Amino acid sequence: MNIKASKNLLLFYPIRTFTNWTKFLYKSFFIFKFKLNIDNLKKQHIFISDIIKKEKILLNLKHQITVKKRSEINKSNKKPRQQKGLGLARAGSFKSPLWRGGGVIFGPKAKKVNFKIQTKQIKLSKEILLFNKRQNLLIINSKLIFPIYIYNFKTYLNFQLQKCGINSLSKILIINTTNLNILNYFKNIPIKIVNIFHLLSSDLLFNDYICIFI
């Protein structure tokens, strides 16, 4: 098979049991299908960095601060007090920035940033990153054992990682492809857990090992 000319790649991974990560299910394999052009992977770092920058911009847009100007304040246009005779400063509107609850001068406003990210590009970037970390992938079957009745789940997880030759201090990413809520078991464990529908290219890039729960 000429790998350089091939665009369709199949990777077979044995499915591990959750009770013992060194044991595999009998005749059970998880298949990755990649559509990659190996000859054009030399420019992959430029392509992936561009995708990660766009993802970072989209994530930061959710936390933009917005204030209201005086034209956006829902208050009456009635004059607060008379112009003269009280010995106080002139006041023309409750919407003035000088009044409590009024508008804000030169405050931050959310910006609408429109740029297009094609779904094919996002899919291709994730395929490239998964292909580059194909030696650090673990497929674990978690449907048969939940809910987990383990007293100290953190110690149990570190023990399973050491049996697979993985240092517990390394960056580990767990991808949840099931409908099970596994976040409750990883509250005090410094491991990132991502749902398969919320997976980003930066998650695959900045983690050393990837565990996929199926």
Q: What is the CATH number of the domain that holds 31?
A: 3.40.1370.10
Looking at residue 37, its pLDDT comes to: 66
How would you class 113 by CB atoms within 10 Å of its CB: exposed for 0-12, middle for 13-18, buried for 19 or more?
exposed
- Structural domain range at position 190: 8-57+117-213
Q: Are residues 46 and 127 in the same domain?
A: yes
Percent share of the chain, pLDDT over 70: 86
Looking at residue 112, its pLDDT comes to: 72
140 phi and psi angles, rounded to 5 deg: -125, 130
Q: Are residues 52 and 71 in the same domain?
A: no
Q: Are residues 40 and 129 in the same domain?
A: yes
Q: Are residues 156 and 200 in the same domain?
A: yes
128 has a pLDDT exceeding 50: yes
What predicted TM-score, i.e. pTM, was given to this entire model? 0.66
> What are 199's two structure tokens?
């997976």
In a domain, 2, yes or no: no
Q: Residue 79: enclosing H or E segment and its boundaries?
A: none
Which has more pLDDT, 121 or 85?
A: 85
b/e per residue 19-42 (b: at least 16 CB within 10 A): eebeebeeeeebebebebeeeeee
Which has more pLDDT, 112 or 75?
A: 75
Query: Rounded to whole angstroms, how far apart are CA atoms 73 and 183?
Result: 42
- Tell me how crowded residue 213 is: count the other CB atoms within 10 A of its CB: 20
Starting at the edge strand found earlier in the chain, the sheet holding 24-35 runs 24-35, 8-17, 137-141, 209-213, 172-176, 192-195
Percent share of the chain, pLDDT over 90: 14
In a domain, 149, yes or no: yes
184 has a pLDDT exceeding 90: no
pLDDT digits (tens, 9 = 90+) for 6-53: 467 788 888 888 888 888 887 888 888 877 666 656 666 677 888 888
Q: Are residues 176 and 149 in the same domain?
A: yes
Do 173 and 130 form a contact (C-beta atoms < 8 A)?
no
Q: Are residues 101 and 206 in the same domain?
A: no
Q: In the chain, how many domains are there?
A: 2
> What are 85's two structure tokens?
């005779």
Q: Are residues 101 and 198 in the same domain?
A: no
